[in-house]
A and B are shown apart, each in its own frame.
Chain A
Amino acid sequence: MNAWENLLYGFEVALQPEALMFVFIGVLAGTVIGMLPGLGPISALALMIPVTYGMDPAIGIILMAGVYYGAIFGGSTSSILLNAPGVAGTVATSFDGYPLSKQGKAGKALAIAAYASFIGGTVSVIGLMLIAPLLGRVAVTFGPAEYFALMVFGLTAVVSLSEKSLIKGLIAAVFGVMVSLMGMDLQTGTARYTFGNINLLDGVDFLIVALGIFALGEVFVLLKNRTGASKQNPLGSLKLTRQEVRAIAPPIGRSSVLGFFTGVLPGAGATIGSFLGYSMEKRIAKDGDTFGKGNIKGVAAPEAANNAASGGSFVPLLTLGVPGSGTTAVLLGALLVMGVTPGPLMLEDRPDVFWGVVASMYIGNIILLLLNLPLIPLISKILNTPRAMLLSLIVVFCMIGVYGLSFNPFDLMLVLIFGLIGFAMRMYGFPAAPLILAMILGAIMEENMRRSLQISQGDWMIFIDKPISFTLLILAAVSLLLPLFIRLIKWVKKK
């Protein structure tokens, strides 16, 4: 089957009434959660995983794709309406989105965000369709040494791009790998770091860490920062004039392509994509000086790039089975819970899941545009939910999510512990994305490292002798050393 036939097959899966219903539920829930202060796509995905228990994996992942897109759009909504971007990916949207909303044009900004997201999403789906099978073919030739090097690169890229402090990012990543090693070693049966507790023999489930750090931890952060309810500006009309459409079309096109390729790179993703799109348009536009004061292009560009990058980040996840960001790491966790292991073999073993995901991402986009946008005036009322109630409800959702998976109060205690760790990390500037990515990759990384060393009879040169693994390790080293090098140049210039 070629790519088009495959995609048609995917649409067949995603257009079943049941799948359509779940995409809608996913998009809606994602929008609502993404809109809430402090909660972004990662929290939305983590909170929705329990809903997929026992579902057919194809449907479950369709639901998650909807949640993902909805959460990104929800984040844009709160950026535009309240100037309170829930996550870094939508910060660039608030630069012009919030000034527009202060001018009473919030509806317009939201409509532009939805159209731009839709086109960005479409471009990324086409890109995914073209690139994924090619990359998949290369990935089939990967042995354990290449996989190990790829994961090291993925981790270092996320660390070097995510936050200012390299050391703190690395600490978060190493801690994440440490957590993933807890429990019984599957190759030898040896218990590691279980402290004699049988509850820890199976290790710490990733959902516990994801909900603890990204949902419960956020509750503590919200308590500490006392983010109160901000004043919401009136929505205004959702309609765009022909002139406005003509103005935003080229920036959307450019930023979509740029965003997609940014998303494919490990570590880069939505945040960097949206900032790159914004600054590129600001430089190109004749009216670049009005950016930041409510220019519609300043909403269109980052939104298109943001969504295209989110689609692009599916490429390494689905073809290599290696997520390139915190969000796709949680998505990978969700897939694993449903018994689906993404990777080069998924294209052959479960084409229904693979192409179902691609098609459902597209349908998620359409639903976002057709159903969600008109509902925005209604959904935005969620922003009026009293903070006090919101906080206690998020805690209960975390508890239900974990208890429904393991029925073990011990795991709930772990959620509380990770919630406190997540809070401390936020307070002292440790990035959380490397932790969750490392937590997902850690055990697989170790397995691949040991397998390689077993093949080479303990000779470490195996990682250097193989050209692909050598290149990836060099890239990993460069990604870590580059920020240091830039800092050094700046320091020399200052002197």
Chain B
Amino acid sequence: MNHVSKLKPNQTISIILFLFSCFYLFLAFQIPDYALPRPVDSDLFPKILGSFMMLLSIGLFFEKDAANEKEESEQEKEEKSLPFWARSNTQIVVTAIAIGAYIFLLERAGFVLTTFIFIFGMTRFYGYKHYVSNLIVALFVSIGFYVLLTRGLGVYLPPGLLPA
């Protein structure tokens, strides 16, 4: 993002927060009045908060960034030498997408299957190469938790494709 704008991280965040507080305040003014007049209505506290956030975001714009840029650049160099799939940013994005997929599939494919695939797949993706122990842990955790929670603690978990 650095080459797009010359803003420092604090300044970028402050602009985002400023816009956020504008939006927050806009919504605060949309909160309907209560039918009976009262000294304080639902909208007062949000209005105070939104104004505070706006002031703080302006303050943040002028705050100095912590000086850790050197370290970062070294880490970045190290990052670039890694293959694409092993880079930390790639791993974070893939993890977030995988969690999204987990949530989508949980009630459709069921807890055991989804959890098994998630643990086995993600552990492998993060670079663990012992397939057998990975398989055992993934099976043990997914089936173990299912049995413990549904039978032991009476907590419902979606069976999905499993026979009831």
Contacts and interface: CB of A to CB of B under 8 A. Distances in A.
A167 B34 contact: no
A392 interface: yes
A164 to B, nearest CB: 8
B155 interface: yes
Interface SS of chain A: helix
Contacts, number: 148
A174 B56 contact: yes
Nearest to A219: B95
A177 B49 contact: yes
Contact of B126 (A164, A188, A388, A420): A388
Given A53-B153, A399-B106, A409-B106, A174 B49 contact: yes
Nearest to B119: A392
A414 to B, nearest CB: 10
Contacts of A428: 9-10, 13
Interface size class, chain A: 35 or more
Interface size class, chain B: 35 or more
A223 B49 contact: no
A188 B41 contact: yes
A464 to B, nearest CB: 17
B84 interface: no
Interface in B27-83: 27, 31-32, 34, 38-42, 44-46, 49, 52-53, 56-57, 59-60, 63, 66
Interface string A387-428: 111011101100110011001010011001001100100001
A12 interface: no
Interface in A205-243: 216, 219-220, 223-226
Contact of B92 (A164, A185, A423): A423
Query: Could you say which of A174, A389, A392, A429 has the most chain B C-beta atoms within 10 Å of its C-beta?
Result: A392
Contact of A449 (B45, B103, B104): B45
Interface string B1-42: 000000001100100010000001001000110100011111
B127 A388 contact: yes
A114 B16 CA distance: 46
Interface of B: 9-10, 13, 17, 24, 27, 31-32, 34, 38-42, 44-46, 49, 52-53, 56-57, 59-60, 63, 66, 88-89, 91-92, 95-96, 99-100, 102-104, 106-107, 115, 118-119, 122-128, 134, 137, 141, 145, 149, 153-157
5 contacts: A54-B153, A171-B53, A223-B88, A388-B124, A392-B119
